[in-house]
Structure 1
Amino acid sequence: MRFLILFLACFVFNVTFAQPDSLFIKKVQEKYEGPQWIQKNKASFDLSEVAFVNWNSGGANSISGLLGFETSANYADKFFAWRNNATIQYGVNKQEDREIRKTDDLLEINSNLGYKPEAKSNWFYSTRLNFRTQLTNGYKYPNTDEPISRFMAPGYLFFGGGMEYGKEIEKVSLYFSPLTLKATFVLDKDLANAGSFGVKPAVLDLAGNIIIPGERVRREVGILLTNSYEMEVAENINVKNQLSLYSDYINNFGNVDVDWRLDFDFKVNQFVRASFGSHIRYDDDIKTKKPSEIEGEFDEAGAKLQWKQMLGVGVAVDF
Structure 2
Amino acid sequence: MRYNIFFLFAFIAQFSIAQPDSLYIQKKRIVETPTPKWVNTNKGTLDLNEVAFVNWSSGGSNSISAIVSGKSSLEYSYEDFVWTSALNASYGINQQESEVLKKTNDLLEISSSVGYKRSGSSKWYYSGRLTFSTQFANGYSYPDTSNPISKFMAPGYLFFGGGMEYGKDIKKLSIYLSPLTFKSTYVLDDDLANAGSFGVDPAEYDDDGNIVVPGEKVRQELGILITNYYEVDVAKNVLLKSTANFYTDYLNSFGNIDVNWELLIDFKVNNFINASFGSLLKYDNDVKTLVVIDEDAEEYGESGAKVQWKQLLGIGFVVDF
Q: 1:311 aligns with which of 307, 310, 313?
A: 313
The 8 Å contact of residues 153 and 187 in structure 2, kept in 1 or not, is answered as: yes
The runs of at least 4 consecutive aligned structure 1 residues that moved more than 4 Å come to none
TM-score, normalised relative to structure 2: 0.88
Number of matched residues?
289
The residue aligned with 1:274 is: 275
| Structure of larger gyration radius | 2
Residue 171 of structure 1 and its aligned partner are, at CA, apart by 2.0
The residue aligned with 1:78 is: 79
User: Separation in 1 of the partners of 2:83 and 2:123?
Assistant: 14
Residue 293 of structure 1 and its aligned partner are, at CA, apart by 5.5
Residue 80 of structure 1 and its aligned partner are, at CA, apart by 0.6
Higher relative contact order (CA 8 A, sep 6+): 1
The residue aligned with 1:125 is: 126
The residue aligned with 1:219 is: 220
The 8 Å contact of residues 34 and 79 in structure 2, kept in 1 or not, is answered as: no
Residue 75 of structure 1 and its aligned partner are, at CA, apart by 1.2
The residue aligned with 2:139 is: 138
Residue 33 of structure 1 and its aligned partner are, at CA, apart by 5.5
The residue aligned with 1:302 is: 304
User: Separation in 1 of the partners of 2:166 and 2:133?
Assistant: 24
**Secondary structure, counterpart of 1:286 in structure 2:** coil
* 2:88 corresponds to 1:87: yes
User: Residue by residue, what CA displacement relative to the aligned partner does 1:47-93 show, whole Å, maximum 9, x if unpaired?
Assistant: 01111111100000000000000000011122111111110100000
The residue aligned with 1:69 is: 70
The residue aligned with 2:102 is: 101
Which amino acid in 1 is paired with 2:258? D
User: Separation in 2 of the partners of 1:220 and 1:77?
Assistant: 34
**Secondary structure, counterpart of 1:292 in structure 2:** strand
Deviates more, 1:179-188 or 1:292-301: 292-301
Cα RMSD of the aligned pairs, angstroms, is 1.4
Residue 135 of structure 1 and its aligned partner are, at CA, apart by 0.5
**Secondary structure, counterpart of 1:197 in structure 2:** helix
Residue pairs, 1:155-234, within 5 angstroms: 155-234=156-235
Which amino acid in 2 is paired with 1:38? V
**Secondary structure, counterpart of 1:169 in structure 2:** coil
User: Separation in 2 of the partners of 1:83 and 1:229?
Assistant: 17
Residue 35 of structure 1 and its aligned partner are, at CA, apart by 2.5
User: Residue by residue, what CA displacement relative to the aligned partner does 1:131-179 show, whole Å, maximum 9, x if unpaired?
Assistant: 0000011111111111111000000000000000111212211000000
The 8 Å contact of residues 173 and 231 in structure 2, kept in 1 or not, is answered as: yes
The residue aligned with 1:292 is: 293
The residue aligned with 1:37 is: 38
TM-score, normalised relative to structure 1: 0.88
The residue aligned with 1:25 is: none
More helix by share: 2
**Secondary structure, counterpart of 1:139 in structure 2:** coil
User: Separation in 1 of the partners of 2:151 and 2:298?
Assistant: 24
User: Residue by residue, what CA displacement relative to the aligned partner does 1:214-260 show, whole Å, maximum 9, x if unpaired?
Assistant: 00000000000000122211000001111000000011100000000
> Gaps (5+ residues) in structure 2?
1-32
Identity %: 57
User: Separation in 2 of the partners of 1:33 and 1:290?
Assistant: 60
Deviates more, 1:129-138 or 1:168-177: 168-177
The residue aligned with 2:241 is: 240
**Secondary structure, counterpart of 2:256 in structure 1:** coil
User: Separation in 2 of the partners of 1:34 and 1:233?
Assistant: 34
User: Separation in 2 of the partners of 1:157 and 1:174?
Assistant: 20
